[in-house]
Amino acid sequence: MKSVCVFCGSNFGSDTAYAKAAHETGAAIAEAGLTLVYGGAKVGLMGAVADGALEAGGRVVGVLPEALQEKELAHEGLSELHVVSSMHERKAMMADHSDAFIALPGGAGTLEELFEIWTWGQLGLHQKPCGFLNTNGFYDQLLGFLDHQRDEGFVKPAMRDMLKVADTPRDLITAFRAYEAPTVAKWIRKNET
């Protein structure tokens, strides 16, 4: 593992703990000798995670769509900034440049990004770990629903277990280093759970 992608909100949220966790995540990635890959913006948790990594002496790669660069949202202090034509191209480049994926608190975009990566893993398109930094229980209700999907037979237990969860970025990085992708097929056959 050489790089970690972080998906997170472009806002700070209502609790100052989220910005603190984002900053700590960036610092933990840098201190672990890993490159941070993220969405390239200077706003919200995105800016905080980048600042945390940069302040800890880390390498930070941003991937930003042209439309957001035109709104002057690009972080000016990055090690490397890729400006791409679309959100689809952004996600593909972030995936290509990353060996693991963390979702910090965020909105619909954060969930969509992590769920796409998780789905690709279930389909065997990659064997990279992904998970949630569950700051102050932010993801508790979502994790409960994912367990419900498993319990109702829509997600195999091994596929549900692919998503790692931790309260600290260091614990999540440790879980990622120990990660082994499941070897079971994604699809559930008749009379199988």
- Residue-range domain boundaries for the chain: 3-177
For the chain, the straight-line distance linking the first and the last C-alpha, in angstroms and rounded, comes to: 32
Q: Against a cut of 0.75, is the pTM above it? A: yes
**87-91 average pLDDT score:** 94
The single-letter code of the amino acid at 107 is G
Q: What pLDDT does residue 70 have?
A: 78
Burial (CB count within 10 angstroms: exposed 0-12, middle 13-18, buried 19+), residue 187: exposed
The yes-or-no verdict on residue 190 having pLDDT over 70 is: no
Tell me the three state secondary structure of residue 41. strand
Cβ 102 vs Cβ 172: under 8 Å: yes
Q: What is the pLDDT of residues 158-186, one digit of tens each?
A: 999 999 999 999 999 999 999 999 886 65
Q: What is the pLDDT of residues 74-85, one digit of tens each?
A: 999 999 999 999
Alpha carbon distance 41, 94 (integer Å):
14
In CATH, what is the architecture of 3-177? 3-Layer(aba) Sandwich (3.40)
